[in-house]
Chains A and B, each alone.
Chain A
Amino acid sequence: MVTALLTLPLLAGLYAFIVKDDAARRRLLLWTAAGHTALTAALFILRLHPRFGLGTAAAGEWFGLDELGFIFLGITSVLFLGAAVYAVCYLELEKRDPGEEADEGFIFNNAPEAVFTGCLLLFLSAMTAVTASRNLGILWASVEATTLLSAPLIYFHRHKRSLEATWKYLLICSVGIALALMGNLFLGAAGLKHDLGLNLEALLGGAALLDKPLLKAAFLFLFVGYGTKMGLAPFHTWLPDAHSEAPALVSALLSGALLNCAFLGILRAVQICSGAGLAAFTGGILTLFGLLSLITSGLFILGQRDYKRLLAYSSIEHMGILALGAGLGGGAVYGALLNAVGHSLTKAGLFFTSGLILAAYKTKRISDVKGLLGRAPRTAALWLTGFFLITGTPPSGIFLGKFLILNEAVASGKYLVAGVYLVFLGIVFAGLARIFLNMTFGVREGQAPEEKPFTEPGGMVWPVCIFFCCVLALGLYVPAWLDALLNGAQFLIRRAP
C-alpha cells in the first residue's frame, strides 16, 4: 500500500511531462491528487481495523508509517488535493492572461505547464517518501529531492525576482541539507560498535547503546540541516524570498507541507535522542531556536510591506512555535502537532487567498491594497477569517495548540519562556492585525468608478473555505481518531529510555 502511495504520483508526474493536451494534464493532476488522498485515507482506516494490522511499520523495512508519519502524510495529502483543485483554475487563468507585474510593468512569461505539473506531482511523491521513510538515509535523500523538485515550481513566473528566490532557495537548502548528511554520518558512527546502521527501528531499539557525544554532534548537524529547510531563524533567510515569489499554490505547499516534512526530520532525531536519555539536551536547543524564530518573525512582521512575505514570516513564527512545543515536551508536543495541522490548513488557505488578491490588484505591495471589501467581498471575507484563525483567536484550532504549549511552559516552571512566548505572540497579533485590517477596510484612492467587482473562480475559493472550516472545527472538537493519532505521536517522541 505504501509503495502504491509512493509510485502513484511518481508515475503520474513522469507521465505529465509527455502529455500534450492541457485539459488532459489538468485532469491527471486532479485525479492523482484525489487518488493519493483516497489511498492515504484507506491506509488509515485499514490500520485502525485490528483484523488487518496493515500500515504498521515492520522492522528493517525502508518505508512504513507510524503515527508521526501519518499526521504529516495526512496534512500533505489533503493540502495537495486542495492545491490541485486550485491549480486547475489557476493554470487556466494564467494561460488566458499571464498577468502583468504592476510594480515593474512587464508581462510574465510562464514556464511550460507540463514541466510545472510534472514537478508538482514528483514533489508530492518526494514528500510522501519523507513521511514514510524508516531509514534516515532515505529520509535525507527524500528531503533533498523535495528541494530539487520544488525549485522549478518557484521559478514558474520567469523573471528576475523569482529567479533570485529560486537560486537562494536551491543553494541555501542544498548546503543546509548537506550538513544534515554529516549528521547522518555522525549518527552512523555513534552506533557503529553495535552495528545499528541508520534504520530507525534499530536505532530506537538500541538508543541506549549509542555513543553520547557522537549522538549530540549528530543531533546538532541534523538540527541545523533540517532546520534550514524548516525555516527556523537564523537559518530562515531563503524562506520569505521563495514564498513571496512562487505562485500562490506553490507557496501554500511549501509552507503547509514542505516545512512540516523538514520538521519530521528533526523529530526523528529527537525521537532517537530521547531514547538515549538526551531529552534535556534536545529540548534546550529546540526551545532556544523556537523562541529565536518567534522573535525574528515578530520583528519582521511589524515593518512588512509585502503581504506574501508577511505570510512567510508568519510561517517562520509557526515553525518556531512547533520547535518550542517539541522542545518543552510533555503536553506541549501534543499542542505542537495540533498546531502543525492547524497551521498547514490555515496558511495554505491564506496563501490561496493571497493569490486571489494578487489577481485582483496585480501587486504584492501592502500599501497598494486597500478596500478589499469593496473590490472583492468574498476574498476579503476569507482574508479576514484567515487572519483570525492564524493568530489563534478562539475557537481556532491553532488557539488550542498554542494554549497547550503555554500551559506546559507554565506547568514546568519555565516562566521566562512563557513570558517571551506570550509577548511575541502579542506583537505578531498586533503586526498582523494592522496590516490585515488596513488591507480589508482601508479606503482606496483613485478608484475607477466603472470598475467591475473582482469575481473569483469557484475552484479557487472552495478549497480555502473547506480548510478554514476544518480549522474551526478542530478548535471546537478534536475527533477521537485524530486525538489517538496525536497521542500516539506524542508517545513516540517522548518515549522513556
Chain B
Amino acid sequence: MNTFAELTIVVIILLNLALAVSGSLSLCIRLAAFQGVAAGLLPLLASGGVRGRAMAFAGFIILLKGVVFPWLMFRAREKTGARRDVDPLIGYPASIMLCLGAFAASSWLGSRLPLPHSGVAFIIPASLATIFTGFLLITTRAKAITQVLGYLVIENGIYIFGLALFVEQPLMVELAILLDVFVAVFVMGIAIFHISREFDHIDTDQMAELTDWHRPEDAKW
C-alpha cells in the first residue's frame, strides 16, 4: 500500500544527492522545489485515504514549495544578476561523499532512535539526510542565494521528519510555521537584493569585515 510513498522517499534521497553535485544554480532551485513538492505529496500517499483537511493542506504546501518559493528565488537570481554556477567551496566529489556519508549515518541513527514506527520505510533516514544536505549547502556554497536554498532544503527535511513522527499540530500552528518560512524567504530575498547592490556580488565568504579575529597588520585598529 505504501509503495508509492516509499518510491517518493527514494526520489527525495536521490534529490539530495543531485543537490550536492549540481553546479547550476537554476537547476538547484528546481531540484529543491521538486523535493518540496515530493514532501508535500507524501502525506497523501502514505495515508491511503484522502481527507479534506489533509488534502487542502497538502495543496497549500505544494503551492508554496513548488511555485512560490522557486518564483521568489528565480526573481532574486535575476535581480542580482548572479552567475549561473553555485561556487562550491569544496569540490563536487567531496560534496557527494559527505552527502552519502550523511545518509549512512542517518540510516544508523534512524535505526537507533526509539521513534514510533511509521510504516514507511526509510522515512526517518531520508528526513535526517535532507536536513544534513541543507546544512551542506549553507556551509559549503559561497553565494547568499544558495544559503537560502539550503535553508529551504532543511525546512523540507524537517517537514518530512514531522510526517514520520505523526506529530499533528493544530492547523493554526502549522499555518504560523509556514507563514514564518514564507516571510523568511521573502526577507532573505530582499536582503540578497541589497547585498548585490552594496557589494556588487553575493558571495558571503567575502563578507568578513565584522570579526574579532584581527590580523596584526590591521594596525589602524
Contacts and interface: CB of A to CB of B under 8 A. Distances in A.
B212 A189 contact: no
Contacts of B209: 160-161, 164
A198 B154 contact: no
Q: How large is the interface on B (under 10, 10 to 19, 20 to 34, 35 or more residues)?
A: 35 or more
A165 B198 CA distance: 13
A192 interface: yes
Interface residues of A, number: 54
Contacts of A241: 210
B198 A214 contact: no
Contacts of A193: 116
Residue among B115, B144, B194, B210 with max Cβ neighbours from chain A (10 Å)? B210
A167 B167 contact: no
Nearest to B202: A167
B191 A138 contact: no
A188 B173 CA distance: 13
B114 A214 contact: yes
Contacts of B147: 171
A161 B210 contact: yes
A211 interface: yes
Residue among B131, B169, B214 with max Cβ neighbours from chain A (10 Å)? B169
Interface stretch (A21-29, A178-186, A274-282, A390-398): A178-186
Contacts of A184: 167
Contact of B210 (A144, A148, A165, A213): A165
Given A182-B161, A198-B173, A211-B114, A170 B210 contact: no
Q: Chain B binding site: helix, strand, loop or mixed by DSSP? A: helix
Contact of A185 (B144, B162, B204): B162
B54 interface: no
A147 B184 CA distance: 9
Contacts of A152: 187
B144 A141 contact: no
Contacts of B188: 170-171, 174
Nearest to A244: B210
Nearest to A199: B170
A151 B173 contact: no
A137 B177 contact: yes
B97 interface: no
Contacts of B199: 160, 163
A210 to B, nearest CB: 12
A151 B191 CA distance: 9
Interface in A419-449: none
Contacts of A160: 198-199, 209
B114 A213 contact: yes
A78 B116 CA distance: 45
Contacts of A188: 165, 167, 169
A137 B170 contact: yes
B150 to A, nearest CB: 8
Interface string B151-189: 100110010011001110110110011011001100110
A89 interface: no
A151 B212 contact: no
B138 A151 contact: no
B191 to A, nearest CB: 6
B154 A192 contact: no
Given A148-B187, A198-B173, A365-B221, 8 more contacts: A141-B179, A144-B184, A145-B183, A170-B191, A178-B154, A182-B131, A185-B167, A198-B167
21 contacts: A147-B184, A148-B183, A151-B187, A151-B191, A152-B187, A158-B198, A160-B209, A164-B209, A170-B187, A170-B191, A171-B138, A174-B188, A175-B135, A178-B158, A188-B165, A189-B167, A192-B116, A192-B167, A198-B167, A198-B173, A305-B214
